[in-house]
Every structure is written in C-alpha cells, then in structure tokens.
Structure 1
Amino acid sequence: MTDIKTVGVIGAGQMGSGIAHVVALGGYDVRLHDVSRERIEAGLALIEKNLARQVHRGIIDESAMSAALARITAAEDLALVGATDLAIEAATENEEIKKSIFRNLQPHLGENTLLASNTSSISITRLASATDRPERFIGLHFMNPVPLMKLVEIIRGIATDVPTYERAVAFAKSLGKITSNAEDFPAFIVNRVLVPMINEAIYTLYEGVGTVDAIDTAMKLGANHPMGPLELGDFIGLDTVLSIMNVLHEGLADSKYRPCPLLVKYVEAGWLGKKAGRGFYDYRGEHPIPTR
C-alpha cells in the first residue's frame, strides 16, 4: 500500500467505473464524479453488476463486494474529488475536455494531491501543462475491462518528478496490477501497436479484401487473437479508435496512421460499436450480426 488513502475518479463511464471498482476492492476510499447524478448512478450500478459477476465466478466473496461498494461515494461536487490524495481523470478521449476538467478541478485541490489521467493516447506533458502541478501529474492508463486486465501503462510527462512516479507505480501494484513504463509519445505502447492494426483491418474491409466475418475469423484462427480486430474496435468504441488514430496521424505526421475513411463514416453515422448498439456488428438482436 502507499500513503494514498482516498482516490477521486472523474468520469463514471466504462473506464471510470472500472477504475473505481478495482480501487475500492484495493482498499481505498473512492469518490466517483461525473457531469450528472444520473451518470454517477449508472456508473455505480455498473460497478455493482460487475462485482456481483466476480462473486458468481468465485473471484471475490460477498463480504469483499459489500466492503468495496461501501467505500465508493457519489461525488456530485467536484470539490469532493479535489480533497482526495489522488485524482484520476477518466473522461472521453478529447484533449480539450480533459484540460477543462483539470482547470475546473484546480481550485479545489489539496496542496499534495496527485493528478493522473487515464488517457489512452494524449500527451501527458500537454495535459499536465493545464495544471498548477505538472511535477505531480502522471499517466495511469488502465486497460479495458479494468477489473479483468492486469496491465497499467505508466507515462511520465517531461516535468513528472520521481516521487510521483514511485507513488503511482506503488499504487498500481497495490491493486494487483502489473505496470509497464511508456514514454510520452502519441498513443504510448499498447495503442501505438493495437489501434493501427484495427485501422488496417477496417481498410481491409473498405477495400473489399474480406467481409467483417472473414476478417475477424481470419485473425482469431490465423493469428490466435481472442477477439477479431473489428469486434475489438466495436468493444473499444469506434469514436475512441478514431480519436487515437487522429492523435497518431497528427502527432507523428506519417500517412500510415491516416484513419480509414470507412471508420470516419461509421463514427459520423453514430455507429460507435457495442455501446451504441451498432458498429461493425449490429448488437440490437439476440446475437451480433455483421453490418457489412
């Protein structure tokens, strides 16, 4: 354990609720914040559902579930998050939204509060520059789904000091996670490799090389991937995939990172994947059906 006792999580969506889930199971008091009470309640309901699933599978017992739920507080007021030892931002993958959150949080921060972003692609150095404490700012990139995935990428900005890095690593390890250090370059390690693969699978579909089913089956059975790249894109969220590709394309100025036009069209249509009911698969029926 570290000297961190209270943790604020900003964003109660899939990632934020997953982070709150594992942090509460790790014995920390959690304050969960979002833009509305309804979103916080939805996040709390998702946490309870996922904890119950872990109980059913014998991963944790009922007492651990009850204790974790008791440690999570709905924090409608952002000031409650600022009073924690560590505040983790887990909002949508948009740089201006993230910077705005940190600016709004700043007046409420305790003198020694550490700041972290769960960004999957955006510069930690740039996000830190929007705060009054870049030396106490770090990237903690949890993988989705957070309760199941073991990795946390640790990303230091140019100003991040050694004590902040050491506390962040100790904190992640105290949750039972394994850490991997990544330099502060666009998309870090996992998404620098993974998301262009998904984009290339979309190009393969766009160019008519294979259907949705053929591409995903080929990668599952031919490369031993547990999930096909198009299905994985739907699971991540095609809006997030597009955001990461844009960060790579703009940050590295290399045409190989150009987002596939078909990906752009799906996002423009609102077909964002599983969370929207449609993406490269249609999830509105009993079983997912390819949309192309």
Structure 2
Amino acid sequence: MTPNSALDALRQQAPLVHCITNYVAMNIAANVVLAAGASPAMLHAVEEVEDFTPISGALTINIGTFSPHWLAAMLKAAEAANAASVPWVLDPVAHFITPYRREAAQQLMALNPTILRGNASEIMALAGTGGAGKGADSGDEVAAAKNSAITLATTHGCVVAVTGARDFVTDGSRQAEIAGGDATMPKITALGCSLTALTGAYAAVTSPLEATVAALTHFAEAGEAAGKAASGPGSFSVHFLDHLHNIQPGDLDEGRVTWA
C-alpha cells in the first residue's frame, strides 16, 4: 500500500488509536491524530487499559513523563495488544538518561513492539551502540543509527523508524528513507511524540512498514508546507495541523520516499 492509498484507508476507516503518552504531548498528539483523520483516546489508567486496548485499532506508548503507575499501565496495555493482535508503537523517549527509565524501556522492548520510533541517539542506545543524546534531543545524525535500527528490527521482529532531518525506516530487510519536513519542527514541543501517535493511526489500517512510511511521508509533507507559510514556531503549529488535515489522498509526494 502506497502512502496515498494508506491515507485514503485512514480517512475511510477513521481508526480508534489508544495513546498512552506524556503530559506534554497529550494535546498536540490528539490534535495531530484528529487532523490526519483518525480518532485518539488518551487513556492511561491501569484499571482500564486491559479492557480498552483490544477494541482499539492500534496502541501507542510514549515514556516521556511516565511513573510507576503509568509503567504498569503501559506493560499491561502492550500485553493486551499482543494478545488481541493489535499493532502497537513504542516511543522510548530519552530512555538512556536514568537507570529507571532504561529498565522501563527494556521491559517494553521485551514485549516486542510492532513499530519502534525514536531519534538516532535513542535507537543507538537501545541497540547498545552508544548515542550522544541530551535528554529528549538527539546528539547523533540519522545515518549513524542505521545499523542499530537494522539490528533492533531483526532482533525484535519489528519495524524501526529513526526520525530526523531525513528519516530512515527498516524492517530488517527492507529500508526506506523519507525526505522533507522543516527545520522549525524540532522547536515545537512534543511534535515528535505526536508522530508516534500518527504512526499508530496508520498501523491500524495497513502493514507496519507501509504504515510507518506513510506516517512519515504525511508528516514531512505537512511540515514542509507549514514551514513555507509560518513566521515562527507558534504559527507553524497552526499551519502544520491545517496541512495535515487538508492533504488529501493523491496529494502526498511519494517521490520523497527512497527504497533500498
């Protein structure tokens, strides 16, 4: 399925996306999913995730501002997703900065996410190949994380997306790079976290590799258009949501995707 056909499926099906994300990202993540054409649910209570996850089209987990209670909910939701064959996406935000966070990321990785999305430093650190991240910001270029991504994809049987100036996606055998976006995007709080939620929306309607490529293409297209219209980070956010919403199936420039 191409990015344009995936967008058409997303708009036709409007899947329910269970988003367990951080406090900073909740608003933008929900708005991004809505603007793209899906339906977000921002549930994280451990008492209800086991019941809610199986009725969702996809689950996304982001550890940005988690706590012990949230971690318990994340683990239970991931287990429920696996049991119900619901695809799920893991965003291991800054997992390397404390032992507690690092252990939580390893627990979640042990449950074999369908898709793993992170910046270069996060992906390299998960693979045990270093990484020079500063908090949630990457200190490494995407190209430096390609081998780490392939290793993680092969080991865990998942799709890995390394996002940055030029995104890289692999399932261990196939690879794709996605160009586009805008330099303003890293200046918008939690915009990367919202990409994880959008990836979940696409994972609900097509295969993991195709979903990831489609989400990155949609994001890059909207970011590039917003950058041309905005005068700064504040107006960029408004234009970005508008372009995510206004892009129609057939509008995505699939030439920005390079397969290898």
Q: TM-score, normalised by structure 1?
A: 0.34
Tell which structure's C-alpha radius of gyration is larger.
1
More RCO (CA 8 Å, sep 6+): 2
